[in-house]
């Protein structure tokens, strides 16, 4: 048994204050408020910050120069081992719009991956190609199509059990039948890139949809006479809403409004792209040229935000800075996504849960991360569960030259973020973005958000 003490611990069984967490054989034994664990002194005494569950990201298309849909095993392994730098210990890689045969092939390749030895892969999220033409965002409009039974079955059967989530526009012909078929197959259905009315969004929930993809972005907006997808999402207690809290996709007051309107139903996501964590330059995104601007936002040539560089720890910091209490913010990036994806062993610090833990500094940036009780990233004043010595923080990868645009790939679109991804970079909540930069991000060009 190993005991970690922190000045603050986010766990249900203790108030937000000093507490000790006991870990053994990769699982949490228990949590006790105070400076000892039943009289047992801690092996590791964190001097500051807060200990939280491992972060869970259910929408991430890539990062560190890697686009999941076209990645090879080495690239998958590299990303899985680097995501703990951002506090992420489990994720749902997201494949964007592509021809269905290409998505089927990508699912089959993913199913054959070996153990990656890093953050846990929870399945795959397919976003598209069954999206609304007038809400396509950064997705290629020429590849959009109706969700026919054959197309839906092909994705479900490509790698049984791997497809865990699918984003679609339910108002498309065949959309409601597709929702029912996917739900029956155990696939989470998310309404997104949709021009559905509130009534159509409600019908989708009746058919089995349980999520809304990147709330406010690329969907019919809220109107007092026609609430649209946004109004139905906030009002319908069956729907959990993904939120890209980079303060560029969604402004801080609107983040605050979402948490107030749908308590316990707002889930933080990054929707990050391959350009996340990379220097300014030009990159390939699903066959499109995407440039990373000085704020770290990937944009298409027309100015549309075409992806994100958001870190999930930064998303927590952003919503806390916007006025959300720390426990609610952490739950939105841990417990809620873990529960939605059917993994109650993740996303919490509780007896029997997997000991995926993150030490966030006072600025809420990840300083150390444990996977199954073993130190995966960071430098701490002690070691836990078989880790022989403190592991130094990973050195930044070379970023002297942008990675050149690759040949068109079948997929790969995420969404923007407040700060680029490199480990140790300041989170957007406390970033150096000036008021002028934030104002620029709210310009008409910035409002054409990809997702």
Which neighbouring-strand residues pair with 449?
305
Contact 83, 63 (CB under 8 A): yes
User: Residue 379 to residues 90, 106, 170, 383: CA-CA distances in angstroms?
Assistant: 21, 36, 47, 9
Q: Is the dihedral of CA 347, 350, 352, 354 positive or negative?
A: positive
For 169, which DSSP code?
-
Q: Is the dihedral of CA 24, 29, 33, 38 positive or negative?
A: negative
Token pair belonging to 313: 């720890």
Contact 171, 193 (CB under 8 A): no
- Among all chains, which residue has been given the structure tokens 């996977």? 371
Separation of alpha carbons 290 and 256, rounded Å: 30
Which residue is catalytic, options 78, 246, 271, 313? 271
Separation of alpha carbons 20 and 192, rounded Å: 41
Annotated catalytic residue 271: yes
Helix, strand, coil share of the chain (percent; to 5):
25, 25, 50
Catalytic annotation, residues: 271
């Amino acid at each position: 048994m190993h005991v970690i003490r922190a000045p603050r611990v986010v766990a249900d069984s203790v108030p937000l204050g000093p507490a000790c967490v006991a870990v053994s054989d990769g699982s949490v034994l228990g949590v006790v408020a105070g400076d000892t664990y039943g009289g047992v002194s801690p092996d590791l005494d964190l001097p500051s910050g807060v200990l939280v569950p491992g972060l869970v990201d259910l929408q991430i298309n890539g990062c560190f120069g890697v686009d999941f849909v076209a990645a090879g095993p080495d690239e998958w392994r590299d990303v899985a081992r680097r995501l703990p730098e951002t506090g992420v210990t489990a994720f749902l890689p997201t494949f964007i719009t592509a021809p269905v045969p290409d998505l089927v092939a990508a699912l089959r390749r993913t199913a054959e991956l070996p153990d990656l030895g890093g953050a846990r892969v929870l399945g795959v999220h397919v976003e598209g190609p069954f999206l609304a033409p007038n809400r396509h965002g950064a997705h290629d409009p020429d590849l959009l199509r109706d969700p026919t039974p054959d197309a839906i079955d092909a994705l479900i059967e490509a790698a049984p059990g791997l497809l865990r989530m699918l984003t679609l526009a339910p108002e498309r012909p065949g959309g409601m039948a597709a929702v029912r078929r996917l739900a029956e197959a155990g696939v989470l259905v998310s309404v997104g890139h949709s021009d559905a009315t509130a009534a159509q969004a409600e019908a989708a929930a009746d058919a089995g949809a349980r999520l809304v993809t990147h709330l406010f972005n690329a969907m019919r907006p809220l109107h007092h006479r026609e609430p649209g997808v946004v109004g139905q999402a906030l009002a319908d207690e069956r729907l959990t809403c993904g939120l890209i809290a980079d303060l560029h996709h969604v402004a801080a007051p609107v983040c605050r409004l979402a948490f107030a309107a749908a308590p316990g139903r707002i889930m933080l996501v990054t929707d990050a792209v391959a350009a996340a964590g990379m220097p300014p330059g030009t990159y390939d995104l699903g066959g499109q040229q995407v440039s990373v601007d000085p704020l770290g936002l990937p944009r298409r040539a027309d100015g549309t935000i075409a992806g994100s560089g958001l870190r999930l720890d930064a998303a927590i910091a952003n919503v806390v800075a916007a006025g959300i209490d720390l426990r609610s913010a952490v739950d939105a990036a841990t417990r809620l996504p873990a529960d939605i994806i059917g993994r109650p062993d993740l996303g919490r610090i509780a007896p029997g849960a997997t000991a995926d833990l993150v030490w966030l500094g006072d600025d809420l940036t990840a300083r150390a991360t444990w996977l199954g009780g073993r130190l995966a990233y960071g430098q701490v004043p002690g070691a836990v569960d078989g880790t022989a010595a403190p592991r130094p923080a990973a050195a930044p990868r070379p970023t002297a030259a942008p990675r050149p645009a690759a040949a068109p790939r079948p997929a790969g679109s995420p969404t923007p973020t407040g700060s680029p991804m490199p480990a140790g970079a300041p989170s957007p909540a406390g970033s150096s973005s000036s008021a002028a930069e934030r104002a620029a991000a709210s310009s008409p060009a910035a409002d054409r958000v990809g997702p």
